[in-house]
Structure 1
Amino acid sequence: MRNCIEYVLRQDKTSELLTYVTGPYCHDEINYDLVYRTFLEEKKMWDKDSGRMYAHNIISWHKDEQITPEQALEFGKEFAENWFSGFQTLMAVHKDKDHIHCHLVTNSVSYEDGRKLHNTKKDLERMKQLTNQMCRERGLTVVEKGKHFDGSQIEKGEVIAWSKDKYNLFRQQVKDSFVADCAMAILKALENCISKEKFIEKMKQFGWSVNWIEKRKHITFQNQDGKKVRDSNLSKTFHLDISKEGLENEFDRNRQKARDSVNRDSRSDEELAGYYRQVEAACEGADGVTGASDGRERRVTGEKSEDERVYPEISGKDTQAENGKTEVILRELRNARRNSEVKRRNSSFDNRNVRNAEVESIASAEQRRFEEQKRLEEQERARAARRRNKRRSGPEL
């Protein structure tokens, strides 16, 4: 606590005009030694000078925010008097950075009744709501989720780290960061993944095991070196939705994409088959023109037409050219049929994969429901057995 107070009141970070203490404080000067002794005396008065000694909070504004250090101090006073009512709180505005921020160090023992200060996660969320409301009342900017200070959208995958050390790590040594490596592996695994089981299998191929348990809120990823990353950490750092619900939604989108691809291929096959039928009809029509009934009879009997007798060389060339064109068309038709058959088989294979994945997903869900039902039944049997034992072990009259 002493070190924290000393840091907050450093002269190179603040000035005497930008400091204040709420609650009992009988000294004219504000320095770290006097504030420390005042906090400690209050603790000893209530015999609570051990355990958690203080709470340290920071209210920070963007570098482009139109706020003065004096306004920031008044903001901190109002917040402390509302939120930390009954507790001594030291506040100091720092202006050594490119953005103004206000430090609040609160004594963990109340000077009114000696109760200890406790803040839960829900309390932290309410603190955020209070500061947002105070900003709106003053016409200051309120941070919106997924947006920068200027209101522009944060791009998917953009590094947003609330820890200074973590942010520097990502900026300077992203290649050596196992957290960044985990995020990259997840993005690769999600490209065509259509089920939880396939996702876990792909992550294992990339060197990451996935601890995805239905009863637990978060997913934990662990690499071969034993380093762990939680899904909430990845979501906050990289502005990605890597929660259970977010991943399940991504699986659903990938399944829909696969179905749409199969439908498009089926329509293409039908259109291509119609085109082939038209080509075949055209080829048959060409054969009928060059081979009418009387022509076929003459070829059988060996007779020649007048044109063939007068211009034998021209007639032969025309026939060869016509036959060559027909052969080219038929060859292209056969090749196109083979390609269509290959595409059809591939589409069928992809469709089977989608159906199998859906069956596996349904089976997994059924298995989970069965196991949950079995667990509930066992618990009920155990409770019934305890009730029976309790009745049997009652006092005899």
Structure 2
Amino acid sequence: MAVFKIIKFKHGQTKTGMRNCIDYTKKMEEENHLVSTINCSSESAYEEFMLIKNMYNKESGRLYIHAEQSFPPEIQDMQLIHDIGRRLIEETDIFNGFQVVIGTHTDRDHIHNHFCINSVNAETGAKWHISKADLEDIKNKSLELCREENIRIWWDKQNDQDQVVQPEDNNEKLHTVKQGEYEKQKQGQSWKYELFLAVKECVKHSFSQDEFISNMEKLGYEVQWDHHKHITFTTPDGKKCRNNKLYPPERFTKEKLLEQFERNCQRRSERTKKMHQKEMDEFARNARNILTALRSGKSKDSNYYPLTHMKKRLEGEALKEKIKQKENSSYDWEQEL
């Protein structure tokens, strides 16, 4: 699960402190490009914060809010973590109208989001005030997003009641509702799971419906996206599957995918878009190379799922790195939970 907390200050706040908070939130922007903003721009966030304060004559007292959202070390998808952080702000009412800088930090064994929030609402001029109920709403929304993104929440009763069987050896739910498919997934033989990985990767690197279809084609998939309610995917070996058969189905609707493409456009610069295009091409090349290697080493009737193979390999490397970092770090994730 993700842990959300608002960082408390023992002493008063200053304008310099606010600038430092913004800079700290953005400190890894050059390295991972995972900085986005709401109701302001990254380059001039401090000036825009001050403009709102001047407009409403509220330049004293609490100037900003610094919050953090931390994830367990085994969650290593930094783009996913950044997306969860941004959605937390966008989809929780208390943040409506506030200027927010969001930055994802990857310099510790656990990836985490930082938020710097202007204390004055840009739309109403009201000062930030949060109750215990508001904080509980934020935490519940964070929990909901984790559940939606298949991040295991071991203590959550609602999660335990899900109809989908939970894997025992990793943090991903089954991406189909059938038990037999889950067994195939564990054995690395599920073509639906392979499709899920392909869609997830292409969504991350796409900025439009056409680009998404093109990226899927690079991985060997055909996409029928027409006037019908559902999208139909055809795998490289001819199997067909609709988008409502992927789990969770509400995440893969036409509307949700188009919304994600639009968010990708809004938060990424031209330089970042080119970087994503390059990464997608490299990903497709790696998948083709692994597929060739798998075919050369197995019989003709074997299943060849390069994306599943790549994910398992990355998980193995991440586990080794996690063990190495744990040995060299005093950070106690379990204690913080």
- TM score, norm. by length of structure 2: 0.39
Larger radius of gyration: 1
Higher helix share: 1
- TM score, norm. by length of structure 1: 0.34
Structure number with greater CO (CA < 8 Å, separation at least 6) is 2
